[in-house]
Structure 1
Amino acid sequence: MADKLKDTLFPLEKVQLFASVLKDVYAPFQPEEFVATVCDKDWPERELKEKMRHTTLCLHKFLPQDFEKAVDILVAIVPKVTGFEAIVLPDYVEMYGQDHWDVALPALGELTKCGSSEFGIRPFLNKDLEGAMKYMLAWADNDDFKVRRFASEGCRPRLPWASGVPALKKDPSLILPILEKLKDDPEEFVRKSVANNLNDISKDHPELVLDICERWQGKSKNTDWIIKHACRTLLKQGNKRAMLLFGFANPELMKVEDFQLSNTSPTIGDDISFSFNLVLNIKEKQKVRIEYIVHFVKASGKTSPKVFQIKEVEMKPGVHAINKKHTFKNMTTRKHYPGEHTFEIVVNGDAKASAKLQLN
């Protein structure tokens, strides 16, 4: 997948367009020389983030060395840059703006309108957390929804593909006023970031997130959606308080019988199916969350669990037959290794049955 992304999201044509736009706003810019410098002999082999950083370094050679003048040029092209190449702009600020906060931070707020500054803000957060978070809090009130989304996304404690912010993992209190401002934002793009931020926080501070979710529950359709998305990790973990928050039935009143795998000796690339009977000793229809966990063998020989959802639905008392297919085909996101794999059936957070197979 990385190979495909690096070729489709940052092709030569995008670099040429980027150079042309820069020439439009900065007459001394040398587009042909810039493109040749960026697209050197190593360009095809560079990974996506390497291409971004390499382009940033090249850009520095062709812009004014005065940081404020360079940033004025980058901000000027914001309305004209809409593609993936726009991520170079906040990367430039990250690279060369560490000693120019009064220029760099406002620039990140502008540059995020065409290419998210969520990665570029991270070093500033690590350098002066309280100073950077003052900007983030102000951006949460911005008229532009992309800037408001950046206010939440940029301070996620565990933002994927980004450098970590250990201080926010340890103490997320500076994030919470931002999320309060954005919890009922009219844009789903923003609300989803709020939910993802809370989900990040839940991995280190589950009780804090559950306190927030209990307080927000029922306030609006927007907050109800946010808290459900925010608790997805806690629900996968079978957190009892999270289960109760969303009205799932007592798992002690449920059991799994006749759990069977269709093939206990499959080969990598095969599909298997499994089935079981879910027995609900409840008095009336209630919410049930059914999942299965596969403990995958890794290259090291150790195992690592992954949770898959089967269904989440209201169910009546009685016996319910459940059937599901699982694939052992290799994917870009998961590679399989031979060895003993364990399947577990989980109902409302409780493991109810397990079975083993030998993957060949």
Structure 2
Amino acid sequence: MSQTISCMIMRGGTSRGPYFNMSDLPSDREACAEILMKVMGSGHELQLDGIGGGNSLTSKVAMVGPSTHPDADVDYLFAQVSIIEKKVDFAPNCGNMLAGVAPYAIETGLFPAQKDKTTVRIHNLNTGKIIHSTVLTPNGQVEYKGDITISGTNSPGAPIELTFLDVEGAKTGKLLPTGQKTNLIDSVEVTCIDAATPVVIINAAQLGKTGHEAPSELDEDHEFMSRLENIRLQAGELMGMGDVSESVIPKPILLSPASQGGTVCARYFVPHKCHKALAVTGSIAIVTACCLPGTVASKLIGENENTSFFTLEHPSGKIELTAQRKEDNPSELNSVSLIRTAKKILSGTVYLN
């Protein structure tokens, strides 16, 4: 008899994947990984035997369950499932898939809908951090239709406001894991910062790039990609993360001057391919670095302690974020907020033959 698991497939932000109730999956990570690889079809570039899309942005899984944290309503665990390799990484976080967590929790009865709007407090098990997600719930039902279009998608939706609290030290426990605002790696100035996710920020010009190249152009420059990976590996050691050759974090980010009226332009790597848009967690790390004087990001944009609104340009358009600065120290943040959308695509049963 075939083993089956109930799931809901959703687009969350600019990512897509199945959402599961944690109670339907093993608590043991290795056993859970085996099931997720079967679900997604790992081991084939097209993921033919599963529901993955043959792309890192469509080979993601969200698992949601009752909260184990006193300040949250639900727990959320993210997994990045490899496409060709049979491997699952539970270390990173995904803010785009996070956009679907509150809708999923309400749809499945993990959290009750309120009148008009519902705020779900989410405990991210990957980072230990709390995120507040506010969705429209007229008549007690999640509203997906709307007129908000986020760059990187082709269909509008209802706004989902995500507010990330206490973003510092998501994986390493420190905002600046190296103890410095900048470090030199292979004669390149970098900022190693851990805010929502660990990243390595580099001024694109230091690597001979404009920072406005198409993702495919960067991916096909093998010498550049090799150099970028070498910097990432050394950054991982400096950040106290050890050998990160088998991990997707820290993520490298190239920054350059904005060309479309934004704050700064970004090219985000995942980490061995350039993202066709920009990850939510990566964008939070960029904004945090922009607010901290002396970092690669703040030097590039010109340090301004009064700025609270940031527009980050990326290959598919832009993403807008609001930083709530601490009154006693404007270079530190209380939270970072942004708007995403989500779309429910399918609710059904996955067979694990």
Q: When the two structures are superposed, what TM-score results if normalisation uses the length of structure 1?
A: 0.26
More helix by share: 1
Structure with higher RCO (Cα < 8 A, 6+ apart): 2
TM-score by length of 2: 0.27
Q: Per residue, is there more strand in 1 or in 2?
A: 2
